[in-house]
Structure 1
């Protein structure tokens, strides 16, 4: 399969458009994006003309004398070029310099500000017009600062993150700091400058690898100067730049289309799944499910849609709608029979009349309860200092709560009193709930204690909830705590103290939960577990498909780069989009 035939697969693969951009630049600088024309003036003539102009500028004292350039050996040339192209070093076609940072302790070097001063962090945009800092005329006179003219190319030689290797273009005259190299091309024609710029965009990763140093690797001016560039005839440079612009616009359209499709998909998923979760009867559920089933392959074609389906499953579970009608009621609840299915008793002197109204209808044998009604014990954890090296009791922390279960991979230990050990010892079936964290989405999240953490203690920003096992199944309560309605109750009263978000035991005890009879809770948990397994399998299949798409895209790009010229097919490429 060639690139044209596989275009849609490439464009829709993970990071496919980014790979397409890389491919376009690769083909451009190899002479395989547009046709060659034997009537074009060869690059050797352009380089001779540039050499003559550079010698004149040196003689006039406008630029510094450069070091004679050695002939580039065949072994040094990265790849073969078309007829009419030539390899040269950047130093052959440009004057390359750098800048400096005037001493910060001399305020007069920065005030009054007169000239824009570029730092490497400002090379992240294609063009530089405004800068965050300026230098004064005194700094220009007394330091080694140089003012580069408009249309100078600026490359970052070092900087944080992705900065090193970025290239931008000045739209106005400006000086730079020492982390930037200024590239003033001898030939000032626009297409020549744009071709050189796109070449540096193509080799971004390669030039970053040339950096040396420890904590902050950096390039130097010598390495920038010695960069080898494939130079096409000037007329072909113009055709290349025009074609790259055309194809990059196409990539922009593909990205916008992808974002629009993702937004539309998210709206469709939300609409159908929200309707499914809001089903108030078996009949309504069947109708809403039919709508979802009609679009199943379209809806569940990405992991985030499977996540939405799993959330919907939980909502249906706590409404009793996952089970057949005959299995929803189970045996009579052991809770106080005065708490009826679709009424809610105010407690603790609450004055909010809305608390008397059930959030939604539930089966007749179910009860709306306060969380505190089914607790045997609720308590906070230890405030003792914990560390990896302490010889003491294992103490569970927030990082040990993962996806509703306890992980013992990252344990710390603490020295606790005998009373604390007895009071805080965990047993299987306990729930640990986060009461304090910087993230609101983590506050109220819970995990079920198993045999792996029996007799462990727990930290102070967790609370342990021990349930009445005669009426409540821990795994069912864990599901209920994840539902949208309960999460809204948790996040509503959250307070922030010094950037930390908190919920207390009283607020947790007052959470409203739908409680089925115990035997029904078991059936619900089994059903949810089965459906979650199906969701996990679907995610795995989607992940495998995306991996295959990625490998296919890599192979397709590799084939396009290393096989026959694509120049004749770029119009078809645009049409394929």
Structure 2
């Protein structure tokens, strides 16, 4: 159960008369209703409030549940001295006005937020003011429905999406506020709003809203009980959120643990008949030399040897530590001017991968732009890595070709390394890459990749590791669907 669901359950219980015990000595709510009627009639005679609109009796089908015998169903209009909304129009604003002009969007978490509120002067306020007092509750009637705030004598004027309810003196103010927070009221306005794109609670519906009204003493007990329970709900929310965070992180940590095992040579058994990785390195060096000779790749700068202090763990005897730059061709992306981007594919164009936004959490590539003048083209099977902004999104290109922007680097595996093994190594190394990212907009350099050290197994063991990893990671994913 989420904290929100727990709070809603408590408030629902309160509205149904199940949160505290009834006391047979309490004066029943029916007597309270009479007192409220007498008070309102007296205020009308004195000219302090206007005579309220008549509302019909509450039909049985309007009552969503049974309430205790000492309670009464009553309409909101019957227990309020006034229900209305703010100005239907635009006031004359002034930058240094002392009064804030607010709407329903300014009502948040029980109080009035003045963020982005415009201001009016006293003369303008006097034209549109509403007589609110400490028994007033503000409620959003338009757009986001049902947001509440207790009025505390703030210097505010209301717009039309800010409604107000001014309660009579014969009620426990906080009980009515609890009702307006409860699932009972939320269900009411969900059933009674108008509009589709922008939802609206009509004032007529608000005035007719049925309320389960307890005796005055029980109202006090309900409020006191809720005040004791809400701090416990807050404590529960803290624990719940911590557990959610742990749960959300656990999947990633589990995957990282499995990848780490694989990189340490502990995921599958070594086969003494496998050709050792040292022979694979010799073949790679010979192939690179031939490609340089043929002009197919450029000769790269010599990479420093790996010392023992750099090696984070021991690896099997048949494996070798290598710099990533020894076994890949690294391709840096380049931006193409925005004016040359196309929003649809045409003849002669190729997909343009601009950055991490093109790669989803499952490694799928989504294309929304194309170019006809590519300068950095990567081919199908190239491993793509986001290296600026969002660091570490990975995908293997499944398109024939694509141009990559500078937020992406391509890892071209030309030398017989299992492509999926190489991808899994990079996934295991992403956190270290993220730690290397510097500046306000995070980014990693070519050297951050080229100098990375990779534990290289024999080719046959690479294949076995990939098979085992795909089975294990698939099982982990299925647990979190």
TM-score (norm 1): 0.68
Q: What are the equivalent positions in structure 2 for 1:104-123 lying under 5 Å apart?
A: 105-107=92-94, 111=96, 113=98, 118-123=102-107
Residue 524 of structure 1: which of 465, 472, 479 is its match?
465
Residue 401 of structure 1: which of 345, 351, 359 is its match?
359
Q: Which residue of 2 aligns with 1:430?
A: 382
Q: Which residue of 2 aligns with 1:97?
A: 84
Shift of 1:477: 0.9
Residue 144 of structure 1: which of 128, 134, 140 is its match?
128
Shift of 1:100: 3.3
Q: Which residue of 2 aligns with 1:569?
A: none
CA distance in 2 between counterparts of 1:372 and 1:353 reads: 12
Q: What are the equivalent positions in structure 2 for 1:104-183 lying under 5 Å apart?
A: 105-107=92-94, 111=96, 113=98, 118-128=102-112, 135-141=120-126, 143-159=127-143, 163-178=144-159, 179-183=161-165
**Structure 1 residues 366 and 352: alpha-carbon distance in aligned structure 2, compared to 1, 3 A threshold:** closer
CA contact (8 A) 1:435 1:444 kept: yes
**In the alignment, is residue 321 of structure 1 matched against residue 321 of structure 2?**
no
Q: Which has the higher contact order (CA 8 A, sep 6+)?
A: 1
TM-score (norm 2): 0.80
CA distance in 2 between counterparts of 1:387 and 1:327 reads: 54
What SS does structure 2 have at the residue aligned with 1:386?
coil
What SS does structure 1 have at the residue aligned with 2:379?
coil
Shift of 1:386: 3.3
CA distance in 1 between counterparts of 2:253 and 2:64 reads: 49
For 1:513-572, what per-residue CA distance to the aligned partner results, in whole angstroms no more than 9, with x for missing partners?
2322322322222232232233234435xxxxxxxxxxxxxxxxxxxxxxxxxxxxxxxx
CA distance in 2 between counterparts of 1:332 and 1:310 reads: 25
Residue 368 of structure 1: which of 321, 330, 334 is its match?
321
What SS does structure 2 have at the residue aligned with 1:320?
coil
CA distance in 2 between counterparts of 1:43 and 1:32 reads: 16
RMSD value, Cα: 3.8
What SS does structure 1 have at the residue aligned with 2:315?
coil
CA contact (8 A) 2:350 2:371 kept: no
CA contact (8 A) 1:147 1:173 kept: no
CA distance in 2 between counterparts of 1:367 and 1:184 reads: 78
**Structure 1 residues 444 and 248: alpha-carbon distance in aligned structure 2, compared to 1, 3 A threshold:** closer
CA distance in 2 between counterparts of 1:386 and 1:22 reads: 50
**Structure 1 residues 256 and 493: alpha-carbon distance in aligned structure 2, compared to 1, 3 A threshold:** closer
**In the alignment, is residue 414 of structure 1 matched against residue 414 of structure 2?**
no
**Structure 1 residues 222 and 176: alpha-carbon distance in aligned structure 2, compared to 1, 3 A threshold:** farther
Structure 1: gaps of 5 or more residues: 1-12, 267-301, 340-346, 541-577
**Structure 1 residues 257 and 212: alpha-carbon distance in aligned structure 2, compared to 1, 3 A threshold:** same
Residue 45 of structure 2: which of 40, 43, 59 is its match?
59
CA contact (8 A) 1:328 1:363 kept: no
**In the alignment, is residue 536 of structure 1 matched against residue 480 of structure 2?**
no
CA distance in 2 between counterparts of 1:467 and 1:317 reads: 20
Residue 173 of structure 2: which of 190, 193, 197 is its match?
193
CA contact (8 A) 2:104 2:163 kept: no
- Matched positions, count: 455
CA distance in 1 between counterparts of 2:477 and 2:129 reads: 60
Shift of 1:200: 1.0
CA contact (8 A) 1:126 1:169 kept: yes
Residue 333 of structure 2: which of 380, 397, 400 is its match?
380
Greater share of helix residues, 1 or 2?
1
Shift of 1:186: 0.9
**Structure 1 residues 135 and 425: alpha-carbon distance in aligned structure 2, compared to 1, 3 A threshold:** closer
Q: Which residue of 2 aligns with 1:82?
A: 68
Structure 2: gaps of 5 or more residues: 286-299
CA contact (8 A) 1:381 1:424 kept: no
Q: What are the equivalent positions in structure 2 for 1:456-471 lying under 5 Å apart?
A: 456-460=401-405, 461-470=407-416
Shift of 1:481: 0.7
CA contact (8 A) 1:87 1:230 kept: yes
CA contact (8 A) 2:378 2:410 kept: no
Q: Which residue of 1 aligns with 2:288?
A: none
CA contact (8 A) 2:332 2:409 kept: yes
Shift of 1:168: 2.2
Q: Which residue of 2 aligns with 1:290?
A: none
**Structure 1 residues 353 and 525: alpha-carbon distance in aligned structure 2, compared to 1, 3 A threshold:** closer
CA distance in 2 between counterparts of 1:188 and 1:129 reads: 29
Range with greater deviation from structure 2 (147-156 or 360-369)? 360-369
**In the alignment, is residue 509 of structure 1 matched against residue 455 of structure 2?**
no
CA distance in 2 between counterparts of 1:174 and 1:328 reads: 84
Shift of 1:320: 2.0
CA contact (8 A) 1:116 1:175 kept: yes
